[in-house]
Structure 1
């Protein structure tokens, strides 16, 4: 009888929501492997974003397939995992959706996200692309396996929201 592989959390949201921070804290708390989805972007995607050029769907499909392959590899290994990915559109999430995938949507106001983006340094995604990301975002629906975290607390408080909701979604 086939069994569902261990859970993989896809920590999602627009740039600046704290995906890397929350994912890192979750990985440390749970002891699960972590992959930074931004590190899986092809060089051409990174170059476009550095120039302030929004990615198209055609730019994103190969990247999403690479993320999907990482999720599948975790399943083959029988290991849980955490990966960051903007996953802005439902079509993107559909590309990543597996029975064991739980999306963790970090959701906040434009002002909150702008403050967070302005405070960070060394990231290839410029503040100028936030509006295009917010325009692209399709908020996950009630039929998607998702934990929504409203930004505004500390990263530790945001992680606590995920940890309290996770058992109900990973039975």
Structure 2
């Protein structure tokens, strides 16, 4: 398998996606995107009111993120994306764009799909809830964390993924991910 040209750092809110993703991109010399920066204003308002996003809210946002990733990769720029990508379907959209809606994971796509390594940051809700309680100025309120755990479909075969516990320090995670990227 060729080295991934895109790394998705995923997990529920408060798992450390943005921190790990930005440091990983710096370490690899790749471009970094935080998916939260691309939420439409309607999604931000909805979450700010404590209303969980649904598929109708997320899918257009994910299509946009796929297009951003594809544009970078097509121009030769490898990327790291921090994005919750809670469902397998969402990760498929990030890999395949609109064609993901009509195909299963292991079916060949009509379009070239992104080579994507999924780095799943996982941990117990108590630990992540404690992190969220300390976070200030984010549009995602801690009250929505349980809805994210309810939606979560952890990555599984045949997805190309690496699972890391949030109990590890970021300084422990980055070398593990970099080594994994370089050996894949």
TM-score range, shorter chain: over 0.9
What residue in structure 2 maps to residue 166 of structure 1?
181
Q: Is residue 2:61 matched to residue 1:46?
A: no
What residue in structure 2 maps to residue 58 of structure 1?
56
Question: Alpha-carbon deviation of 1:5?
Answer: 9.1
Q: Is residue 2:85 matched to residue 1:70?
A: no
CA distance in 2 between partners of 1:140 and 1:95 (Å): 14
What residue in structure 2 maps to residue 154 of structure 1?
169
Question: Alpha-carbon deviation of 1:26?
Answer: 0.5
| 97-106 or 64-73, larger mean C-alpha shift | 97-106
Identify unmatched segments of 5+ residues in structure 2.
96-112
TM-score with structure 1 length normalisation?
0.92
What residue in structure 2 maps to residue 21 of structure 1?
19
What residue in structure 2 maps to residue 133 of structure 1?
148
Q: How many residues align?
A: 166
| 91-100 or 63-72, larger mean C-alpha shift | 91-100
Shift >6 Å, 4+ stretches: none
TM-score with structure 2 length normalisation?
0.86
Identify unmatched segments of 5+ residues in structure 1.
none
| 142-151 or 43-52, larger mean C-alpha shift | 142-151
Question: Alpha-carbon deviation of 1:83?
Answer: 1.0
CA deviations 1:86-119 (Å, max 9, x no partner) are 1000111111123411111111111111111112
